[in-house]
Structure 1
């Protein structure tokens, strides 16, 4: 196991005494270290037991600062989405790396395996047809200096029907993932990779484990989950989210069995019109239950990011849901207190 994989589990390869001295001086004076050390990904500045952050509609570091102020502790992780209109948007998201280069957050880039428009497919990707584009992605990441602070959330929610890369044929998905990983890593070996499912039985792939690329090709096992289908307004609703078929506990256990840390790159309220009748509204109980889940995962939780969206279709932003916002802030503060003991 090389040092790149050590970092995925929160361990740090051995460093020289000079670097240790520089880090100690930095801690005492607030100055930057004289020698750069590759940070653990995701890095933590929030004071919480796990790395914690958000998706914010404004793809700028200032939005993460605002989110930190709203909840009372800093943001560790910024979830963003690369473009999907053409290959340049997919394979060269240089604007994102430029935007976030000076920010402290780990950048989680949700990346499509190929453009959403055009005659592209998982089958062609599995044959290696897109490898050169992904080598370009790796070269761009390496040139940006951000590869060591970037998690690639490739082909997220592949078990659903709403994505162009729906894994109806899981063998094609696996082949595609492995080719992309290999091509990008040949240029930027510091990148991390998050294999993210959508909670529950998928309409495109009922057993998402069939699309597992293998331990060699994945750093984090991710799950996207929201307060709906069913809403966490009853004990039964939470039990289904937690213990139902391919629910939260299933994926936490799966990650542990595979020797990987769990991530929750998208989670949050869903009171918007898109899920009318199926979301929980301004639901403080959802916040309480999700934090109980985070605590149960313990040290195997790599990061989580609240989906703080103001779009009326979703409307999960904390600012739009005052009861849930108060409970979220309460849970964050409690998590910081536990971490400091």
Structure 2
């Protein structure tokens, strides 16, 4: 999904959030056994929602938790703007607010989407993208990512989950993989090495393509088990895949993600998911939540603004009811076991 859309939507939502409290919510699950996706100990799924890119996102998480009767959101999710290198280096002041939120409880996760190139949504043509990727593979941008790592460590969030170069298998972002997959993988490895070189870091790197084939098979972009900690997937209710079963079973779909992660000894995640082309679709919402309950990702984060969301978007009331019933602290008989596929 477009970061520019997230930025504009997030900026205007503060004026309507209170009025939308009656339309839905997001929350956390109970401790469960980790699936075969690389973990063999008991693990709790950390649940979050993308509510705003900046400091208002922290406040809205508290509001959402109260609306759900006290269920805590343990995954704080935001994005660094990809317009300039200074922002990719972690310049936004809002990182301080997210760092304070993370440090308030030991069991929280801070999830940060990090662009791999500046002008990330500028419509840069494939030829120029390939040149930029090759420059990155040669190490010309290492210092930007080292600076980001230093800032995160200084802020006290050295265990941040880094969703690096998300949706790389798509057509839109400048950090897309298709123009030069081999050098793209080399560039990813350079970035990880640069960030891991900073003393005190404990980052985890999340490889998160779009669901489906898109511009290139995401498996062609995978940079290696030594530089990936989590196999993520951004999955919205849209084609390819008219039904949820098709979204699961399509080439490079949800089942292939789970199988790939298991084969590589990794946990899974869903950094972005939500409604989209099929409108207010409670069946999709029920099926996706059941999929999450069954496969137990490290974390998941619904994109909660229109048209994707259920709390800050009043146009999806039926899906909001399913979401709230499934995940609410006071869910009673409507808990996860009632929905598992």
- In the other structure, the counterpart of 1:316 is 309
Within-5 A mapping of 1:154-165: 154-165=164-175
Within-5 A mapping of 1:187-226: 187=198, 188-203=200-215, 205=216, 207-226=217-236
Within-5 A mapping of 1:31-180: 47=30, 49-57=44-52, 59-60=54-55, 61-72=58-69, 73-93=71-91, 95-104=93-102, 105-116=108-119, 121-148=132-159, 150-168=160-178, 169-180=180-191
User: Is the alpha carbon distance of 1:126 and 1:94 closer, same or farther for their aligned partners in structure 2, counting shifts above 3 Å?
Assistant: same
- Residue 281 of structure 1, CA deviation: 1.1
Q: Provide TM-score, normalisation by structure 2.
A: 0.75
Residue of 305, 309, 312 corresponding to 2:301: 305
- In the other structure, the counterpart of 1:25 is none
Confirm or deny: 8 A CA contact 2:114 2:162 kept in the other structure: yes
1:238 paired with 2:244, answer yes
User: Is the alpha carbon distance of 1:315 and 1:259 closer, same or farther for their aligned partners in structure 2, counting shifts above 3 Å?
Assistant: closer
CA distance in 2, matches of 1:202, 1:173: 17
Gaps of 5+ in 1: 1-43, 271-278
User: Is the alpha carbon distance of 1:153 and 1:308 closer, same or farther for their aligned partners in structure 2, counting shifts above 3 Å?
Assistant: same
Q: Provide TM-score, normalisation by structure 1.
A: 0.75
1:282 paired with 2:305, answer no
- Residue 295 of structure 1, CA deviation: 2.4
Confirm or deny: 8 A CA contact 2:233 2:257 kept in the other structure: yes
Residue of 248, 253, 272 corresponding to 1:247: 253
Confirm or deny: 8 A CA contact 2:293 2:336 kept in the other structure: no
CA distance in 2, matches of 1:209, 1:230: 17
- Residue 58 of structure 1, CA deviation: 5.4
More relative contact order in 1 or in 2 (CA 8 Å, sep 6+)?
2
Alignment: residue pair count: 275
- Residue 59 of structure 1, CA deviation: 2.6
Confirm or deny: 8 A CA contact 1:156 1:197 kept in the other structure: yes
CA distance in 1, matches of 2:83, 2:134: 19
User: Is the alpha carbon distance of 1:295 and 1:146 closer, same or farther for their aligned partners in structure 2, counting shifts above 3 Å?
Assistant: same
CA distance in 1, matches of 2:66, 2:155: 28
Does the residue aligned with 2:234 lie in a helix, a strand or coil? strand
Confirm or deny: 8 A CA contact 1:94 1:140 kept in the other structure: no
Confirm or deny: 8 A CA contact 1:46 1:75 kept in the other structure: no
Gaps of 5+ in 2: 1-26, 32-43, 103-107
User: Is the alpha carbon distance of 1:114 and 1:337 closer, same or farther for their aligned partners in structure 2, counting shifts above 3 Å?
Assistant: closer
User: Is the alpha carbon distance of 1:260 and 1:83 closer, same or farther for their aligned partners in structure 2, counting shifts above 3 Å?
Assistant: same
CA distance in 2, matches of 1:82, 1:70: 28
Larger radius of gyration: 1
Confirm or deny: 8 A CA contact 2:237 2:284 kept in the other structure: yes
| RMSD, matched Cα | 2.2
- In the other structure, the counterpart of 1:12 is none
Confirm or deny: 8 A CA contact 1:51 1:302 kept in the other structure: yes
